[in-house]
């Protein structure tokens, strides 16, 4: 099946710093990628849809200036958490749908801990 | 809007027990339905899917049947193993979602030897 890879798998940073998470599609081209945030009690929240060559589409309540998404190529989308605070600590997961039929392939996830 | 509701967990079973995780949905049109699984410390992966009413998706001994009359897609397995311990997510993909997958809240399954 299609492979989506995230990096880093975990990161610890100080409050106020920015952190970048990369999401790559390794064996297919992805014009669209999805960024999710997973809270401690499992629920998966769609943050934004990343669109290659154009602006990301953010879900209601997600701060676009806080969570910067860039999709500069057909195989790479990045999520930058700017001026991170402890409440941003979470598990961030990216995914892509190469078939266009809802069959998402997920990255391994990136656990962010902000001290 | 479209939504998915799963039974709350955790579900704790002994090895070889029968598993059912309930999932119901609300949607306009004719959505596709999915079960995704997340093993500890990993991302999600597709477990099975069904794209139309009365379809049965199956994989790794798990099954789920798309029931339009009851708007349900319950996950079942006849004999669970310790290695099945994971979080299971029911999801919906419909024409009204503009390409978004709608997830249920997830159900944790713990299988004890």
pLDDT of residue A89: 95
Of B32, B42, B106, the CB nearest to A43: B106
B100 touches chain A (CB under 8 A): yes
Of A34, A43, A106, the CB nearest to B45: A106
User: Is the model's pLDDT at A115 over the cut of 90?
Assistant: yes
How sure is the predictor about A40, in pLDDT bands with cuts at 50, 70 and 90? Answer: confident
pLDDT of residue A102: 80
Q: What is the DSSP string of A14-66?
A: -TT--EEEEEEESSS--SEEEEEEE-TTS-EEEEEEEETTS--EEPTT--TTT
Higher pLDDT, residue B54 or B30: B54
**Share of residues in chain A with pLDDT > 70 (%):** 97
Q: Are B49 and B36 in contact (CB under 8 A)?
A: no
- When pLDDT is averaged across residues A16-38 and rounded to a whole number, the result is 94
Q: Closest-CA residue in chain A for B37?
A: A106
User: B51: which chain A residues are within 8 Å (Cβ-Cβ)?
Assistant: 101
- When pLDDT is averaged across residues B73-80 and rounded to a whole number, the result is 98
How sure is the predictor about A36, in pLDDT bands with cuts at 50, 70 and 90? Answer: very high
How sure is the predictor about B46, in pLDDT bands with cuts at 50, 70 and 90? Answer: very high
pLDDT of residue B98: 63
User: Is the model's pLDDT at A41 over the cut of 80?
Assistant: no
Q: Which residues is A78 bridged to in the sheet? A: A22, A70
Interface of B with A in 49-88 (CB under 8 A): 49, 51, 87
User: Is the model's pLDDT at B97 over the cut of 60?
Assistant: no
pLDDT of residue A26: 93
Distance CA B16, CA A108 (A): 29
User: Is the model's pLDDT at B99 over the cut of 70?
Assistant: no
Distance CA B11, CA B108 (A): 6
pLDDT of residue A16: 96
CA geometry: angle at B41 spanning B36 and B43, to 5°? 35
Q: Cα–Cα distances in Å, from B89 out to A43, A44, B105?
A: 9, 9, 7
Q: What rounded mean pLDDT belongs to chain A?
A: 92
Q: Which residues is B37 bridged to in the sheet? A: B45, B88
User: Is the model's pLDDT at A32 over the cut of 60?
Assistant: yes
User: Is the model's pLDDT at B108 over the cut of 80?
Assistant: yes
Distance CA A107, CA A92 (A): 9
User: B87: which chain A residues are within 8 Å (Cβ-Cβ)?
Assistant: 42
B101 touches chain A (CB under 8 A): yes
pLDDT of residue B96: 63
Interface of A with B in 49-108 (CB under 8 A): 49, 93, 95, 97, 100-108
């Amino acid at each position: 099946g299609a492979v989506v890879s995230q990096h880093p798998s975990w990161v610890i940073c100080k409050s106020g710093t920015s952190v970048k998470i990369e999401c790559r599609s390794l064996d297919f081209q992805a014009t669209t990628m999805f960024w999710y945030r997973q809270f401690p009690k499992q629920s998966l929240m769609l943050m934004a849809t990343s669109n290659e060559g154009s602006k990301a589409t953010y879900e209601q309540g997600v701060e676009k200036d806080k969570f910067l998404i860039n999709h500069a190529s057909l195989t790479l989308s990045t999520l930058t958490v700017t001026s991170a605070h402890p409440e941003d600590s979470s598990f961030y997961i990216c995914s892509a749908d190469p078939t266009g039929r809802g069959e998402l392939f997920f990255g391994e996830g990136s656990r962010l801990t902000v001290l | 809007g479209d939504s998915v509701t799963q039974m709350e967990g955790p579900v704790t079973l002994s090895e070889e027990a029968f598993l059912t995780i309930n999932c119901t949905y609300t949607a306009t049109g004719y959505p596709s339905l999915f079960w995704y699984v997340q093993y500890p410390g990993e991302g999600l992966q597709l477990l099975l899917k069904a794209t139309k009413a009365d379809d049965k998706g199956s994989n790794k001994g798990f099954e789920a049947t798309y029931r339009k009359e009851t708007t349900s897609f319950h996950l079942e397995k006849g004999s669970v193993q310790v290695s099945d311990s994971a979080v299971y997510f029911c999801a919906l993909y419909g024409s009204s979602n503009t390409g978004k997958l709608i997830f249920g809240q997830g159900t944790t399954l713990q299988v004890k030897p």
